[in-house]
Amino acid sequence: MVINMEIQFLGTAAAEGIPALWCDCERCRKSRKVGGRALRTRSQALIDGTLLIDFPADTYAHILQNGIDLLNVTDCIVTHTHSDHLYPTDIAMLKKGFSHVSEGFHLTFHGSAKVGERVSPQIAGQLEKEGTCSFHEVKAFEPFAAGKYTITPLTAIHDPNAGPLFYQISDGEKTMIYGHDTHFFHDDVWAYWEKTHPHFDLVSLDCTNACLPLNYVGHMGLAENVQVKEKMLELGLADDKTIFICNHFSHNGTHAAYDDFVPIAAKEGFGVSYDGMKVTF
Ligand SMILES: [Zn+2]
Ligand SMILES: [Zn+2]
Ligand SMILES: [Zn+2]
């Protein structure tokens, strides 16, 4: 198999992190004690070292923990405005004086209009004048180019006030889905795929609830992840070589502690993300 792309999961938890800040639940106690892969920071991923997905407050910790050079990152696609995915205040750290960047450096944030409402005020003024940062508004089902990638924003079923989108990312050879945060995919998304016939090499799915049965709209658990996988296989969007990954965990999900969840997910043909995990495909 020719390897084209690499995704590195930098943060793999929902808003509270695992363990959560003040929590004494069974999953948080266990994760604190075990450490390592059981510790999950807030959501972020990096494609091929150049394309960032989301910009949470934990970005700073992620670059330290993983030895990431943010000067190699030219584009950041933002899924929605929830705090575990977007912390716009830190964009100010790109201003001259807070940072010294090489001539020609430019970072583009891409996201929905709601994301723009949070990001644009940080860029307006000094950063705009220095020409190092800009915002690009994107819309569902309208593919755009970012570096060597073609990125298709897709309608997410999640808090509408957060301007949610999830992303299909292709480098021309390989294609992946970063499916965060969303409920079981929208009918319009399935219809778009039936029309465009993509083939996915890697699919990362919202597994906020882990084994806890879902009783609200906006996220998924393992049961819904399995339904997505089955439907993708049925429609020919995926095959037995497609890598399926559960990601974005809440401590409220039953069996959510890493060591507990890995064998359960494996039975359904899913890998389980952890902070720092690299997958090449
Ligand atoms: Zn989230
Ligand atoms: Zn907890
Ligand atoms: Zn969210």
With respect to residue 143, please indicate whether it lies within any of the assigned structural domains: yes
Query: What are the residues whose beta carbon lies below 5 Å from ligand 1 (ion)?
Result: 14, 84, 181
Residues 6+ away with beta carbon under 8 Å from 90: 55, 57, 59, 60
With respect to residue 212, please indicate whether it lies within any of the assigned structural domains: yes
SS3 168: strand
* Nearest listed ligand to the Cα of residue 23: 2
Query: What are the residues whose beta carbon lies below 5 Å from ligand 2 (ion)?
Result: 20, 23, 25, 28, 251
pLDDT tens, N- to C-terminus, the chain (281 residues) = 678 999 999 999 999 999 999 999 999 999 999 999 999 999 999 999 999 999 999 999 999 999 999 999 999 999 999 999 999 999 999 999 999 999 999 999 999 999 999 999 999 999 999 999 999 999 999 999 999 999 999 999 999 999 999 999 999 999 999 999 999 999 999 999 999 999 999 999 999 999 999 999 999 999 999 999 999 999 999 999 999 999 999 999 999 999 999 999 999 999 999 999 999 99
With respect to residue 1, please indicate whether it lies within any of the assigned structural domains: no
Can you say how many angstroms the Cα of residue 2 is from the centroid of all Cα atoms in its chain? 24
Kindly list the distances between the CA atom of residue 179 and the CA atoms of 60, 186, 224, in Å, as whole numbers in the listed order: 23, 12, 12
- Tokens representing 229? 């996988």
- Tokens representing 254? 């039953």
> From the CA of 56, how far away is ligand 2's center (Å)?
20
Domain that holds residue 131: 6-271
CATH number assigned to the domain comprising residue 27: 3.60.15.10
Evaluate if pTM is beyond 0.75.
yes
Nearest-5° angle of CA 22, CA 19, CA 41? Answer: 115
Strands 75-77 and 51-53 turn out to be parallel
With respect to residue 277, please indicate whether it lies within any of the assigned structural domains: no
From CA 180, how far away is CA 175, in angstroms rounded?
Answer: 16
pLDDT tens digits for range 51-62: 999 999 999 999
Q: How many domains does the chain have?
A: 1
> From the CA of 190, how far away is ligand 2's center (Å)?
34
Residue 44 β-bridge partners:
11
pLDDT tens digits for range 4-14: 999 999 999 99
